[in-house]
Structure 1
C-alpha cells in the first residue's frame, strides 16, 4: 500500500472511530465506580508498557524508538493527547456521556480549518462542503436549543481543540518519523502526564473490573495506532468527515449495551453524516484517478 492512499486512510479512520466508540462505552462503565483520573492513568501505564516492550522486540530496540527528528514535538504531541483525555473525562463527569461527546464532534471542523496553515494542505470547496454537511448532521442529532451550551462546555470544547491539534501533529511528524516512533512517544509521554494527575486518586479495584480495565487499554492502544497510520496514509482534511461516524457507532453501542433510546433526529443526523463521508470518498477516488 502506498504512503499516500485516501482509501486506506479512510478505512483506518473508520476502524479507529469504531474502537473509540467501544472505548467510550467501557470508560462509561468503569467511571460509574472508580475515579476517572485513576482509570486514565492505569490505561496509560499499560499503554506505555506495551509500546516499550514492542520497541524492545524490534530491530534497533529502544534506541531506535527514541530516535526522533523532532523529539520535543513528539513529547508535546503525546502530552497533548493525555491532556485531551483528562479534559474529556472531566467533561463526562460534569456534563454526562451524551452532551459532552456531542460538543466534542466539532474537532473535524477544527482539523480542516487548521490543516492549511499548519500542514500546508490544499482544502477545496467540495471538501469544506462535505465537512459542513457532516456538521449539519451533528446539529440535527444535537437539536439546537437543547441547553447544553453551559459553562461546563469549555471542557469538551477545549478537549476537541487539543484532539484536532493532536491529529494534525500526527500528520506533521509522519514527515520525519515512522509510526513506531510516534506510537512510542504517544504512550510514554502520556503515561508521565497522567501519572502526575492520577496518582493522587488511587483506589483499589475489584478483580472483575481489572478485566474491563485491560480491555479498555487494548482499545486505547489499537485505536490510536490506527489513527496514526490513517494520518500517514491520507491528508488530514480528506478523512475528517469519517470521524463523525463515532456518533452513530456510539448510539448503536448505547442501545445494545446500556439500553439508551435513539430518537428519530439521531437516525436522520447519522444518515447525513454517513452521506457526507461517502461523498468525500467518491471525490477522493475521482481526484486520484486523474493523470
Structure 2
C-alpha cells in the first residue's frame, strides 16, 4: 500500500484507534461477564473475518491471491495464537477489570523487544535491555509477588501480553515473504474457524439489549482495525506507535466511570514505569532506523 508521512493525521488516527479499541474492551468486559467468553469472541470473529476478507480481496485482487503463502503453518499458528490471546485477555477483563488488565498488558512491546534478538536475530543494545528491565520492574510492582495481597489471577494479562508479543514476532517473520494482505487474511480466517469450532458448543440465548451491545462490539472491532490500517498508511509506525499507550488511559476511564473500578497506587506506579520504558524503547528503535 502507498504510504505518505502525514504525522499529525497519523497521530490523530492512532488516538481515535486507541479510543475505539478501549470501547471495544469495555463492551467485551460487559458481554463476557454475562455470557461465555468463547461465544462472545466467536461472534466478534465472524464480523472480523468478513472485514478481513473484504480488505484482503481489495488489496490482493482476489481471495485466492490473498491466501497464497509459502508459510501456511506459521500463518495458521499466528491466527490461532491471536484468537487464544483475545480469549485470555477478555477473561482477564472479567476477573481483574479493565484497569489492571491493561496496566499489565501494556508491557507487550517490551516483550517484543526482548524476544526480537533470539527469535529474529535483531540487535538489542544495552540501553534497550535497561528499558526492558525497568518495564519488568513496573510489572512486578503491579503484581506484587510474594505479598499477602498477591492475586495469582493478575498473571492472566501477563500471559496475554506474552502471547501477543509472540504473535507480533511471528507477524514480523512472515512479513519477510508474505504481503500484509496475506497475513491479515490468515489472521481473520484462521481465528474465525478456530473460534467457531470452540465457541459453538457454548452458545447461550442473548437478550435484545445485549445483542445491541454485541453489534456495537463487532462495529468497534472492525472500525478499530480500519482506523489502524489508515493510520499506518498515512504515517510511519515509529512516529505514531507511542500514542498507542493512550488505550491504557481510555480503558482506565471506562473502567472507573462505568464499571466502578479503582486504581491502586502500585498499579499507577507500575504502569507509569512500563509506559516510560516502552516509549524509550520506541525512541531507541527510531534512532537506530534513522542511522541505518
State TM-score, norm by structure 2.
0.77
Q: Go from structure 1 to structure 2 and tell me whether the alpha carbon gap of 1:289 and 1:150 turns closer, same or farther (over 3 Å shift).
A: closer
Residue 182 of structure 2 corresponds to: 181
Farther off after superposition, 154-163 or 116-125: 154-163
Counterparts in 2 of 1:101-112, with a 5 A limit?
101-112=102-113
Offset from partner CA, 1:241-282 (integer Å, 9 cap, x none): 776554333212223333433345554444444443443454
Q: Which segments of 5 or more consecutive residues in structure 2 lack a partner in the other structure?
A: none
Structure 1 residue 137: Cα displacement: 3.8
Give, in whole Å, the separation in 1 of the partners of 2:165 and 2:226: 16
Residue 124 of structure 1 corresponds to: 125
Counterparts in 2 of 1:259-270, with a 5 A limit?
259-270=260-271
Farther off after superposition, 178-187 or 128-137: 128-137
Farther off after superposition, 190-199 or 30-39: 30-39
Give, in whole Å, the separation in 2 of the partners of 1:2 and 1:64: 22
Residue 206 of structure 1 corresponds to: 207
SS in 2 for 1:32: helix
Give, in whole Å, the separation in 2 of the partners of 1:235 and 1:173: 20
Give, in whole Å, the separation in 2 of the partners of 1:144 and 1:245: 27
CA contact (8 A) 1:174 1:232 kept: no
Residue 162 of structure 1 corresponds to: 163
Give, in whole Å, the separation in 2 of the partners of 1:86 and 1:143: 24
Give, in whole Å, the separation in 1 of the partners of 2:168 and 2:233: 11
Residue 252 of structure 1 corresponds to: 253
Give, in whole Å, the separation in 1 of the partners of 2:288 and 2:137: 25
Q: Go from structure 1 to structure 2 and tell me whether the alpha carbon gap of 1:253 and 1:71 turns closer, same or farther (over 3 Å shift).
A: same
Structure 1 residue 172: Cα displacement: 1.4
CA contact (8 A) 1:171 1:232 kept: no
Residue 38 of structure 2 corresponds to: 37
Q: Go from structure 1 to structure 2 and tell me whether the alpha carbon gap of 1:59 and 1:180 turns closer, same or farther (over 3 Å shift).
A: closer
Q: Which segments of 5 or more consecutive residues in structure 1 lack a partner in the other structure?
A: none
CA contact (8 A) 1:171 1:236 kept: no
Give, in whole Å, the separation in 2 of the partners of 1:117 and 1:60: 36
Farther off after superposition, 70-79 or 52-61: 52-61
State TM-score, norm by structure 1.
0.77
Give, in whole Å, the separation in 1 of the partners of 2:121 and 2:81: 21
Farther off after superposition, 92-101 or 168-177: 92-101
Structure 1 residue 128: Cα displacement: 2.2
SS in 2 for 1:194: helix
